[in-house]
């Protein structure tokens, strides 16, 4: 596995080393010891899959606060997505900054997103399947959402108008509201 640091500390793009032959390919997509060599601690406690029917659909920007904060490894195994992570870590020098990466079945890249980040994606094709490996259990009472199109974040989505967005995501809080809650000790 090849680890590429991003501009935000702790956030990595992981590229599997693909071995191809006449049958197809083989690639390791998780190796705890390889993450540990990079200084990354990650114990998978559950795995999720999402299926997005329509190109342009946005899911996010979702996060979990302590004690339910989740780190995740995200991979698009069918189709292609524009995957975004926003640094929400209190005191981080990159607080409020974001990184995006195209993940697709062709490039096989993964996004390592540590605890303390909001995460979301936009489908770049119809019928996208995304796999998530998580290092904590989902706690709905600790979940939150920041608006996908919040001006304070300034995320540049490749498809300006989403094809679909859930009612819950559409009613998400602004980044300013999130900051106020964080200052009050919520995060």
| Residue-level length of the chain | 187
Catalytic residue positions? 62, 132
Here the tokens at position 129 are: 């399947």
Give yes or no for a cis peptide into 119 (omega within 30° of 0): no
Here the tokens at position 86 are: 């926003």
Give the side-chain half-sphere CA count within 13 A for 82: 20
Among 79, 95, 75, residue whose Cα is nearest residue 87: 95
Q: Which residues contact 137 (CB under 8 A, 6 or more apart)?
A: 45, 46, 68
- DSSP letters for 35-87: HHHTT------EEEEEEE-STT-EEEEEEE-TTS---EEEEEEESEEEEEEEE
């Amino acid at each position: 596995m090849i680890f590429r640091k991003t501009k935000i500390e702790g956030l990595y793009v992981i590229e599997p080393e693909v071995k191809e032959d006449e049958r197809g390919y083989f690639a390791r997509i998780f190796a705890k010891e390889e993450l540990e060599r990079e200084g990354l601690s990650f114990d998978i406690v559950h795995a999720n899959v999402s299926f997005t029917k329509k190109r342009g659909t946005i899911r996010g920007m979702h996060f979990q606060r302590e004690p339910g904060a989740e780190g995740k490894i995200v991979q698009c195994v069918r189709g292609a997505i524009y995957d975004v992570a926003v640094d929400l870590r209190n005191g981080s020098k990159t607080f409020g900054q974001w990184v995006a990466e195209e993940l697709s079945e062709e490039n096989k890249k993964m996004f390592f997103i540590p605890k303390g980040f909001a995460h979301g994606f936009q489908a770049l094709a119809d019928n996208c399947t995304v796999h998530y490996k998580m290092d904590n259990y989902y706690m709905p009472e600790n979940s939150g959402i920041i608006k996908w199109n919040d001006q304070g974040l300034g995320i540049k989505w490749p498809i300006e108008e989403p094809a679909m967005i859930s009612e819950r995501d559409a009613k998400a809080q602004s980044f300013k509201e999130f900051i106020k809650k964080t200052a009050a000790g919520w995060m």
